Structure 1
């Protein structure tokens, strides 16, 4: 017990010593082994904790507490076979407790043994002497969970019969209605399914899943399908879904007719979200052009109508003044021309500016300025975009959405201090300041954007600090489920618990983790190649006082490194003083959490950058095997670590995902070029590589293979850059002039602003004519800040 108390005080090593001493006194004490397991659990060493609990059970096999603790760890570690055994022992020990039976059913369910899970629940029901009352929510959830298991096993007739038997007892009526409609549809009882989905539509006419089910139950095709939706639109005149869904399946003149009705309905009500509702159709060129034509026709008619003054009757058949209709029609067209498939910035700006001139100084201005900021961002003018977004925020300072969007635009413009101050308007700032509150609230979007901003500024330590904060958040989310293993059983929320467990199984494939992981891996690879970058902005080659370390002599490099270290120490001291000052200004006497690495210097100055990169890479490859950037990052890391078979595995996986991707092509060239150097590999490794690596050419040289790829991808700027990088691997003499190829990539029709920025970075690596490149890029993207000439 002393060991437990000491551990709670944070003295972990001392706690373990005390626990070991207790075990020496009595190796057969189940209490000592249980406590030993608790200590390991507190350190998240679940494997050792499980071993300790099993030892405790050897000496006290009927202990419910030890069995419960063991079961929680087993489900946390996804040891379902062990979880089943622990839950079975708990049922045998205390069969009168419903939670034990439900827990055993869950164990079988998660292990995939659905028949046993159903059997367990049925056996418990047989033990009940009288049926539970209808007010028993735990029983309601349990019987719905049993129905859920039966349906998941594929026996829909049995599930339907069971559903009818429990429909009066179960409290969740929406779940009953949804399940009944779904089961009837799967069984081919179309008339009953139709009735069920129509009842559901009465409750919620905006849920598309219900419309899909109704379509299947009626077997709708062609004009009959459209007729049903027209009837539904009349039945639910305020609903958007029955008017919008036909646009997905109609074509040609039929599409034009339906689209015109939908646009008239939306635009006459000056709905700002009209474009958002329709942009999913923009992948179809014909539909995109038709929508543009219809909106322009509507705009021309609206311009001809007399503006409505206050108190006058409306002539456009809407309940909205003509001026607002005109404004939001212009707003639609501005968004239309700003869409990435069109990207006509000039037209987009003309429409949004006209709308802003017409809009009164009220909430409309905020929405329109948000649109203007988005157009400017896409055009590359992140500075002006930030200013316009801030102007939108000023229109309604109580709007959290405008506030967060403004902060995001500030981060895109690398104004980190302004961004955190803006976010601080909606955070609790009394203890740890706005950033501390955002970390506590696990605001992953802000932390990610903040980290990427520091990457652009060359502040690698701060960037890594933010990305590691993302990693910790995902660890916390993984650990948070631990409490729900017991909580969900106590509260009886079993169906939600099963969904949570399955969601947790795919948690580490979340887009925000993948984004942070790729960034962190790139930084660690960079630090592995250029360790001097870890010592502040002076050493990163990007600031005003930047030092080009590659061209310095050894003596000058040492001097520059010392200067960079002194600058980094000054920054750390300033950060500490600012934190102390901020603490004095805050209310309350709570102590701020101490941060011994406020600028992330320790993270950046690691002596094992490749080991740190592996920390990110392993979950990326395990949980996102089809993520292309993860596989290409894996190739880079394993090549640096000289794990050539693992690198090849990543390369083959990347090729299977996107065989024509430029990065994959470049890595094929790099790997074959490496093999051509005749490295000293073990016979086993060499044999496996010879058998599995067949991506490189056998009848032509690598240089010819590289140039042929360029010919096959002549429209891609990214392909041109990949070919240039591959030439650098093969030798500068291979191929034609690489600098010319980079300039030609600017003129390709499909080249994007991001491609142009990547080309600029590549040209800087080659020490090419950067001035000429920025001048030509500015002609195509005149508003992009990145191509501005610095005074």
Structure 2
């Protein structure tokens, strides 16, 4: 690279060797050559050498020194593109992409045609989705390297991402004109399919079909070719040709349900009977295929359905197919189909016990069914009744199955699931533990058992269970975090939240947030790789996935948990433990004080052991990194702050922290009403009236009849009335205009009265209305509690809603009401006898004590 401050030939040769050592990752040699230049009194402050020394130091992990040398080099030579480029590389290694872009732009001021700087800049621009900047940079690269394929493809892709399809197609067409006569390979085939994708997205389906048909000999991926041809013909209503393609695809893969659905559209079969006949034809043609036997059950009715489902279930039960219920569960949306299935199964049980056949009319026809057939009927019936919330019957049949074959793991899993659905997480975990004990080498059962343990708040036990499959020498919790095992971490966060360990819960939520940040950063490696390998359609899919990544259910769960915890910490900040302990110890008897001191000592010792293990693991990790061959700049990721639970739980600005979790949800989970309800709760506490109004408007669009939205509307109404006149006139005008739809000039009392009258058949709605009634007038406590605890004539009386009522009574949202609380608990216990939430306190204590006793015995034996 030409220097702004050139060195004499000898030193210049050394400088070139530094560059070569950096490229070949020979960092020690590079530092040696840098030292030789800098030890010369004339060049001790040579900017570019200092910058390269800093870059080399960064690669071996000496980050602070690296920054010091690079900044010093930059100060000594501000006009050097090398110094600015190196500073940009340093910022990029710390994931400070905006700062790195500024550095690259400064470098280009002094060396506008430097290809390496332009490439690095383009990578950061696509990473940050600066698509206009990316387009301009790719244009410069195309002008500098017009013979390189990547230059053309990158420039075309920039227009595609900006949805300027015509320009993108013109560039690709020009490039393909130059490629004529070359050998057609897989990469060329991918480029043609990418070109076709752009034509389809531009909306010109006729041109897309014409392009595919004209280039099909050059396309290697015949499966994608036929799928696209079939889809395009179908969209263009060329049904006969579409049908031909989908018939070919079915012949190729008769297990793909999508092909059958597309073929039905192509054949324009609208009558259910015609669809059933269509599937039966293909069932004869492909007797081993599953879809043509299963899919007609969605369309058949009456006796046709009975005959088909009878045949389908008999085959599966004789063969022993555990997921049969999961396969047929979607049919339960039609009650008549569920009843038909139930009557068939009960008939099977009766006849199998007597004759060993599914039907008495077949007694003399062929051999008996296998003995396991009855077992799988019991297994199905247990799941069937569990789905219908008939817990007694479900337990009866699963117990019959266990008695029949007490070594089948699936039976214990189902029994655990029945108890989970019935509301007893402790009993559910016990049955999963039993299943796990039958096969300790089964990772699926191990994970399921751990999940049930976390649902029952047994976090240590869950960690130990997962420890059977994690890396040795590292705690299971740490290893699961390294592996980004998010199902475990979300369940952990929720368990800690239920236990009131808010710092630990937040730690898990932040760990999940970091996983998503890592996944977004990991796409950096693919920007050059995909362009080089021509996997362009997959690359565009990756970019679009990354844009909506935080809309994933795992992130939503973690963010919701974090926001709820931060709201709780804002409402009830944690007290200072040390001061509280000092106050408590003054009033304790000597014996009690001694016990407390022992407990504190044990807790301290345990904490010290855990921190020592973490330090040891960190040392091992550092040694592993050092022993590994040194990687490039990106390999040295910035050190993130340690997540300390106590610090997380005692932040000064819990609402600001919650907003960080909320913002991605407002963009990517805006179709979920919980997002907007949480936003309202946050802004209500921050007293931001326009943002409260925005949250209510968005929630109203999603679900105007949501009970919690009613509660928010009433609070918002009262907030406006109490603060009228304190805002800017223009804000007052906006509020008055926008709230007409919701309030219609009615006060809070009238709004709540109408809501209760209109939703008297919903327990969840009545609960929210009753809470509002008590908030508006606490003299109506008895009436509010009576409304909230009345279970008669409600369509949504289930464990979750009744638990919400119970929690509201316990939390004092209706004031002091111990007698009504006990009465409601007894009433719910009668309706849901298996649910732990409604069991008498003595039964709960007994279950917990037995578990703790077992836990203590295990610790003693260890």
Q: Secondary structure at the match of 1:393?
A: helix
User: 1:720·1:745 contact (CA, 8 Å) conserved in 2?
Assistant: no
Unaligned runs of at least 5 residues, structure 2: 1-51, 589-594, 626-638, 846-862
Q: Does 2:805 match 1:755?
A: no
Q: Secondary structure at the match of 1:737?
A: helix
**What's the counterpart of residue 606 of structure 1?**
651
User: 2:774·2:781 contact (CA, 8 Å) conserved in 1?
Assistant: no
Q: Does 2:135 match 1:70?
A: no
Q: Does 2:206 match 1:164?
A: no
Once the two structures are TM-superposed, the CA of residue 213 in structure 1 deviates from its matched residue by 1.3
Q: Does 2:224 match 1:192?
A: no
Q: How does 1:259-408 map to 2 (within 5 A)?
A: 259-306=309-356, 321-339=369-387, 342-359=388-405, 361=407, 365-408=408-451
Once the two structures are TM-superposed, the CA of residue 7 in structure 1 deviates from its matched residue by 4.2
Cα deviation code 1:659-715 (max 9, x no counterpart): 111110000000111112135222232221111122543454312321321222122
Q: Which has the larger radius of gyration?
A: 2
Q: Does 2:684 match 1:639?
A: yes
Q: Does 2:674 match 1:629?
A: yes
Does 419-428 or 146-155 show the bigger shift? 146-155
User: 1:244·1:262 contact (CA, 8 Å) conserved in 2?
Assistant: yes
2:551 corresponds, among 495, 500, 509, to 509
Q: Distance in 1 between matches of 2:199 and 2:286?
A: 35
Q: How does 1:186-585 map to 2 (within 5 A)?
A: 186-222=235-271, 223-306=273-356, 321-339=369-387, 342-359=388-405, 361=407, 365-430=408-473, 432-532=474-574, 571=603, 574-580=606-612
Q: Does 2:84 match 1:41?
A: no
User: 2:70·2:86 contact (CA, 8 Å) conserved in 1?
Assistant: yes
Q: Distance in 1 between matches of 2:499 and 2:383?
A: 31
Q: Distance in 2 between matches of 1:320 and 1:4?
A: 78
Cα deviation code 1:286-337 (max 9, x no counterpart): 22223222333333333332389xxxxx979899953221111121121111
**What's the counterpart of residue 649 of structure 1?**
694
Once the two structures are TM-superposed, the CA of residue 395 in structure 1 deviates from its matched residue by 2.1
Q: How does 1:102-181 map to 2 (within 5 A)?
A: 102-128=153-179, 130-134=181-185, 137-181=186-230
**What's the counterpart of residue 311 of structure 1?**
none
Q: Secondary structure at the match of 1:761?
A: helix
Cα deviation code 1:327-380 (max 9, x no counterpart): 1112112111111xx21101111111111111252xxx1111111110011111
Q: Identify if the C-alpha distance between structure 1 residues 317 and 307 changes in structure 2 by more than 3 Å, giving closer, same or farther.
A: closer
Does 444-453 or 171-180 show the bigger shift? 171-180
Once the two structures are TM-superposed, the CA of residue 244 in structure 1 deviates from its matched residue by 1.5
Q: Distance in 2 between matches of 1:574 and 1:346?
A: 44
Q: Distance in 2 between matches of 1:468 and 1:277?
A: 37
Q: Distance in 1 between matches of 2:345 and 2:423?
A: 27
Q: Distance in 1 between matches of 2:77 and 2:598?
A: 57
User: 1:710·1:723 contact (CA, 8 Å) conserved in 2?
Assistant: yes
User: 1:334·1:352 contact (CA, 8 Å) conserved in 2?
Assistant: yes
User: 1:672·1:696 contact (CA, 8 Å) conserved in 2?
Assistant: no
Normalised by the length of structure 1, the TM-score is 0.89
1:28 corresponds, among 50, 65, 79, to 79
Q: Distance in 1 between matches of 2:666 and 2:364?
A: 57
Once the two structures are TM-superposed, the CA of residue 384 in structure 1 deviates from its matched residue by 1.4
Q: Distance in 2 between matches of 1:696 and 1:400?
A: 52
Once the two structures are TM-superposed, the CA of residue 202 in structure 1 deviates from its matched residue by 1.9
Q: Distance in 1 between matches of 2:773 and 2:597?
A: 36
Q: Identify if the C-alpha distance between structure 1 residues 46 and 731 changes in structure 2 by more than 3 Å, giving closer, same or farther.
A: farther
Once the two structures are TM-superposed, the CA of residue 56 in structure 1 deviates from its matched residue by 1.6
Q: Identify if the C-alpha distance between structure 1 residues 65 and 734 changes in structure 2 by more than 3 Å, giving closer, same or farther.
A: farther
Q: Identify if the C-alpha distance between structure 1 residues 591 and 27 changes in structure 2 by more than 3 Å, giving closer, same or farther.
A: closer
Q: Secondary structure at the match of 2:789?
A: helix
Q: Does 2:812 match 1:780?
A: no
User: 1:302·1:322 contact (CA, 8 Å) conserved in 2?
Assistant: no
Cα deviation code 1:19-55 (max 9, x no counterpart): 3433332222211222222233233332232222222
Q: Distance in 1 between matches of 2:615 and 2:67?
A: 36
Cα deviation code 1:407-458 (max 9, x no counterpart): 100101111111111111111132x321111111111110000110011111
User: 1:76·1:482 contact (CA, 8 Å) conserved in 2?
Assistant: yes
Q: Secondary structure at the match of 1:245?
A: helix
Q: CA-atom RMSD, angstroms?
A: 3.2
Q: Secondary structure at the match of 1:272?
A: coil
Q: Distance in 1 between matches of 2:566 and 2:368?
A: 56
Once the two structures are TM-superposed, the CA of residue 745 in structure 1 deviates from its matched residue by 4.3
Q: Secondary structure at the match of 2:723?
A: coil
Unaligned runs of at least 5 residues, structure 1: 309-313, 540-544, 557-562
Once the two structures are TM-superposed, the CA of residue 138 in structure 1 deviates from its matched residue by 2.2
Q: Distance in 1 between matches of 2:706 and 2:315?
A: 43
Cα deviation code 1:130-163 (max 9, x no counterpart): 32243xx322221221222223323333333332
Once the two structures are TM-superposed, the CA of residue 242 in structure 1 deviates from its matched residue by 1.1
Give the total of aligned pairs.
Answer: 760
Q: Secondary structure at the match of 1:525?
A: helix
Once the two structures are TM-superposed, the CA of residue 518 in structure 1 deviates from its matched residue by 1.1
Q: Secondary structure at the match of 1:532?
A: coil
Normalised by the length of structure 2, the TM-score is 0.82
Does 18-27 or 499-508 show the bigger shift? 18-27
Q: Identify if the C-alpha distance between structure 1 residues 221 and 688 changes in structure 2 by more than 3 Å, giving closer, same or farther.
A: closer
Q: Secondary structure at the match of 1:268?
A: helix
Q: Identify if the C-alpha distance between structure 1 residues 465 and 94 changes in structure 2 by more than 3 Å, giving closer, same or farther.
A: same
Does 32-41 or 449-458 show the bigger shift? 32-41
Q: Secondary structure at the match of 1:168?
A: helix
Q: Distance in 2 between matches of 1:369 and 1:316?
A: 36
User: 1:205·1:239 contact (CA, 8 Å) conserved in 2?
Assistant: yes
User: 2:416·2:432 contact (CA, 8 Å) conserved in 1?
Assistant: yes
Q: Identify if the C-alpha distance between structure 1 residues 691 and 127 changes in structure 2 by more than 3 Å, giving closer, same or farther.
A: same
**What's the counterpart of residue 670 of structure 1?**
715
Q: Distance in 1 between matches of 2:162 and 2:641?
A: 44
Once the two structures are TM-superposed, the CA of residue 500 in structure 1 deviates from its matched residue by 0.9
User: 2:761·2:793 contact (CA, 8 Å) conserved in 1?
Assistant: no
Does 665-674 or 100-109 show the bigger shift? 100-109
User: 2:356·2:371 contact (CA, 8 Å) conserved in 1?
Assistant: no
Does 280-289 or 478-487 show the bigger shift? 280-289
Q: Distance in 2 between matches of 1:49 and 1:469?
A: 26
Does 251-260 or 643-652 show the bigger shift? 251-260
